[in-house]
């Protein structure tokens, strides 16, 4: 199994495990937008988007898209029963008041202290910062879902971010295509491995020191 759709969905499925009934959850663009497709049916959640939706459902079937209904990345979504629309100022007000329980974001780099750099690569055109800065600071829990290395094979988990920060010491958990980490006061703790990867695969591709949990969960295919 190579990189690609499978590993993206494995990361999204693992992130979905962190969601509990009753939560308000904001999803970033990219891999995080796959998370609703992996949520068990008994999990009743309000997905929030900063363009002004609370209560997003899964991606619509082909041909069922509503051209006026999209997520913050501009992709078509559905609305669950009880969902609502608002303008962006209200949506950002919800974030800034700490009403979002969990945000799941992509990232370009994360440091061992949980610093997040996910909004710009200097010299490249970007769509804008979006809600990442507010979400990283104000959401009650911040999960980063990203590939372990960049396209050139360099670690995206580093001792200190080289890219401009979105927010300092805000990340609680990192889920990559290789493993799952929690950010602690003592440093990054490796807690889970995705089959078929082992400890050495992760150590060789991580840019900083790691602490290992006593029990490392192996996540099967």
Going by C-alpha positions, the residue among 110, 167, 171, 168 that lies closest to residue 140 is 171
pLDDT at 2: 45
CB 117 within 8 A of CB 165: yes
CB atoms within 10 A of CB 217: 11
pLDDT at 73: 79
pTM: 0.92
Active-site residue among 50, 109, 112, 134?
Answer: 50
Q: Which domains does the chain have, with CATH numbers?
A: 5-219 (3.40.1080.10)
User: Average model confidence (pLDDT) for the chain?
Assistant: 91
Taking 50 as the threshold, does the pLDDT of residue 130 lie above it?
yes
Active site residue 134: no
Structure confidence at residue 86 as a pLDDT band (50, 70, 90): very high
Taking 70 as the threshold, does the pLDDT of residue 142 lie above it?
yes
Pairwise CA distance, residues 180 & 190, whole Å: 6
pLDDT at 4: 53
| Residue that is written with structure tokens 């950010």 in the block | 183
- Tell me what the mean pLDDT of segment 56-70 comes to: 90
């Amino acid at each position: 199994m190579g990189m690609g759709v499978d590993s993206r969905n494995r990361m999204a499925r693992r992130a979905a495990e962190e969601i509990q009934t009753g939560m308000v959850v904001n999803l970033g663009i990219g891999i995080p937008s796959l998370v609703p497709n992996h949520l068990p049916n008994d999990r009743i959640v309000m997905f929030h988007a900063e363009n002004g939706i609370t209560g997003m459902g899964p991606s619509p079937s082909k041909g069922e898209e509503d051209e006026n209904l999209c997520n913050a990345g501009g992709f078509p979504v559905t609305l669950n029963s009880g969902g609502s629309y608002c303008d962006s100022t209200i949506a950002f007000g919800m974030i800034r008041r700490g009403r979002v329980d969990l945000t799941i974001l992509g990232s370009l780099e994360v440091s061992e202290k949980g610093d997040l750099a996910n909004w710009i690569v200097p010299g490249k055109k970007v769509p804008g910062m979006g809600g990442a800065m507010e979400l990283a600071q104000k959401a009650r829990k911040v999960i980063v879902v990203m590939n372990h290395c960049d396209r050139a094979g360099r670690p995206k988990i580093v001792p200190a971010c080289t890219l401009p920060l979105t927010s300092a010491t805000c990340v609680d958990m990192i889920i990559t295509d290789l493993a799952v980490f929690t950010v602690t006061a003592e440093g990054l703790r490796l807690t889970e491995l995705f089959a078929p990867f082992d400890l050495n695969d992760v150590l060789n591709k991580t840019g900083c020191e790691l602490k290992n949990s006593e029990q490392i969960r192996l996540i099967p295919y």
